[in-house]
Structure 1
Amino acid sequence: MFGYIISRLLQAIPILILVSLIAFGIIYLIPGDAAVVIGGPSATPEELAQIRQNLGLDQPLHIQILTFYAHLFQGDLGRSLTLGIPVVDALLARSPITIGIAIYSLVLTILIGLSTGMLAALNHNRWIDQAATLFALLGVSLPNFWLALVMIVLFSVHLGWLPTGGYVPFTKDPIGWFRTATLPAVALALMQAGLLTRITRSTMLEVLNQDYIRTARAKGLSEWVVVGRHALANVMMPIVTMIGLVLSVLLSGSIVIETIFGVPGIGSLLGSAISNRDYPMIQGGLLFVTTALLLLNIVIDLLYTSLDPRIRVRGR
């Protein structure tokens, strides 16, 4: 197992190198002069020269690349142009907020998607199945930013049940955290829950038609035992794959939702960095999110071996 983890980490190095090159090239991919974009049209030549010096744009390209990687290998992603603090400090300060809401949203996605998909499969071609199919269709069709705005109008403005935005740390006020995190988590979860409903339904229908399920029912086992012990265990493999994809989407797709609800997480931080042309923050955020997704994929692969003993990883 340890050898497999080392192997997967080594395989991730080329991806990180490619992503780091893309992050380095962000400044050169923008149209025009990056210093003019940052300084604005009213910047003086002296101010533009200072900006180029601060960004290292006055150095030859190969020197800039070597300097970039030298700082990167030391864990230095530069300083934010708008916040004036190291990028690493800003990302580490915001990451617990985004991770907490993503986990909350993932729990909602699993509870809603798994239960709805199983109910649809167990009531195939009945009204429950049709209602679940309609929910799944709406979930994957409606954009989450539209759902976020609708929920703000309904649950915050008209009903007054939840705040329109903001964030309360869990360590200070757990109830306040749930109140401020619920709408963003639900907005992120509904689309993924619809997709998980469809995957669970189709997988469960396939499993329920297997011979070993018919044999279990023929032995007189209750439906709860047949579904919970025999069917559900074989459904979990594709579900775990889907959960890994869902969490990846939740982590990488939080920019719009956090901006709408005013949640001070990584999503809103990157959204603000993009708006303000904060290139060190954009570069650092891209590398941070990519590293998190690579580590998540390794964890998901390791879960396969615990769910299905027939799967063996290299190095185990």
Structure 2
Amino acid sequence: MDPAAQENAVTALLNLSLEEANKRRIAAAGAIKPLVYALQTGTTSAKQNAACALLNISMIEENRATIGAYGANFKRSKANSASIHQSAAINSSRVVHAQEFDVSVTMLNIAIILYHIHEYAHSLSVLKKLFQNIEPIKEVLHNIAIAEYFHWNMLRNLAGIYYEQSQLDMAILHYKQAINCDSTFIEAYNNLGNALKDAGHVEEAINFYRSCLALQPNHPQALSSLGNIYKDCNMMSVAPSFYKVTLAVTTGIFAPFNNLAIIYKQQTAADGLVNRGNTFKEIGRVTEAIQDYIRAVNIRPTMPDAHANLASAYKDSLQVSSTPELKLMKCGSSGLNAC
């Protein structure tokens, strides 16, 4: 394709991709393939605009699979590999010119695309080179807001890559730095909560999920994640409320349905345990009744019958233990001198 014609076509697609409604239309029209091709073979301007357009399109979840399908050719491209090494060499210089900054922006977008096609190691290597050279890149920008946005973009993508590679400490560090750059970055709070939960810092994870919900009260992932934490902590009276709100605000998450079903099944099991405990209690097997009531309370902590019957069973147990017959049985098992 003629380079000028390719630039014009890519620029047009970039402009279209800025509109939310067009993100699906561009993918449906088959425009992802020529954008990836431009990212491989186009001029510097075409590559930068193609990367930006692909980034915009990838904001729609279902488009990422299509980008990934064409990514097999993208990631094997010699032209792309040469471009990355050339840009890395440019960025190693401490003297940054406007043209070099343009290359840095292009490389940031390429790193983001590599992330979306699950080339995490490749994306991380590009981002690390950019991150090491962030200060001189920021110096070339007179608008501090743009500089901070560039820095924030790298932080959030580094954090995402570290999380995908299970480097949780590094992911936590970079998500916190991204939040320091932008305290309204909703997804960072949710993703940081995920990383903290996976690292075993449950209380801190809850705090960041709640911070996410303070910014966006109907955030489905944060709601569902809190439900999961409370379910794992056996707080069965709390977890369902989060799952129900999750289902009320989205139709794209199916796990809450399954988890609610599990909880309701356990609650049915609690009823069965109480009934069996009642039977044990009626026939004088108080210890076994107590065990069933305790299990029922653990499953459904707010179940009144389980608590009331457990208290009654404990009372009966104390009365039985004070009877002469039981005292004689205890003496018989330990010797008469013990009495």
> TM-score, normalization: structure 2?
0.23
Task: Kindly indicate whether structure 1 or structure 2 has the higher relative contact order, using CA contacts under 8 Å at least 6 residues apart.
Answer: 1
**Could you say which structure has the larger radius of gyration?**
2
